[in-house]
Amino acid sequence: MQISTNQFKTGMAVELDGTLFFIVDFQHVKPGKGGAFVRTKLKNVRTGAVLDKTFRAGEKFEVAHLEHKKMQYLYEEESGACFMDNETYEQLTLTKERLGDVMKYVKENMDVDMLIYQGGPIGIEPPMHVELEVTKTDPGVKGDTASGGAKPATLETGAVIQVPLFVNIGDRIKIDTRTDTYITRV
C-alpha cells in the first residue's frame, strides 16, 4: 500500500530503499516561492540512527506492513528484556538497543504489543495509558492547586515526568505513553 507525504503520521512505519524507518517527526513547509515540501526525522529500525530527510509534497511511499502480537514482559536481563507470547508461551529477548527508551513505562507482567516485520521482532509498543506509582518527588505544599504548575516525579519504572504540584510519593498516576504526560491520579 502506498501513501503520500500528506498522510504522514508520527510513529508510522515506511520503507525507503528496502530499509524500515519510523517517522519520528515531520513538518509540512510551503515556502512563498517554489514547491511545497515535507521535512522529516526518520529513525532506522535496525540501527536506531535518526536521519533528517526532505521530500517533495505529494511524493509516494510504501507503507511497511507490521504485525502486532500480544506479549507479556517477564523480566530484564543483562542482554535485554525477556517477553513471552501469550498464546504459545514462547519466550524471546530483545536487546536494549533495539527497545530504546520505550521500556520506561513497562513493568514486569505488563502486556505489550510486539512489532513484527518480515517475520522478526523489531520492537514493542507499550499500552497507550499506564498506571504507575510515584517513588520520588518533592513534597506537595498546602495550597498547591491543579493549575498551579508542575514538578518532576520519578515513577516506579525509573521514568521521570512532569506532574502537578499536588502529586506526592506513593500516589498512583495515569500517564499517556505517547506524549510522556500526566493524565490523572488514580
Which of the four CATH numbers 3.40.50.1970, 3.40.50.2300, 2.40.50.140, 3.40.630.10 does domain 129-185 have? 2.40.50.140
Query: Within 10 Å of residue 16's Cβ, how many Cβ atoms?
Result: 15
How deeply is 35 buried, as exposed, middle or buried, from its count of CB atoms within 10 A (0-12, 13-18, 19+)?
exposed
In the chain, what are the domain boundaries? Answer: 2-63, 67-125, 129-185
C-alpha cell at 149: 504548575
67-125: which CATH topology? OB fold (Dihydrolipoamide Acetyltransferase, E2P) (2.40.50)
pTM to 2 decimals?
Answer: 0.72
Cell 508542575 sits at which residue? 150
* Short-list 168, 36, 184, CA closest to 26: 36
pLDDT in tens, the chain (186 residues): 788 888 888 878 888 888 888 888 899 988 888 888 999 999 888 777 889 999 998 888 888 888 889 999 999 988 889 999 989 999 999 988 778 778 888 999 999 999 888 888 888 888 889 999 999 998 866 665 555 678 999 999 999 999 988 889 999 999 988 788 899 998
2-63: which CATH topology? SH3 type barrels. (2.30.30)
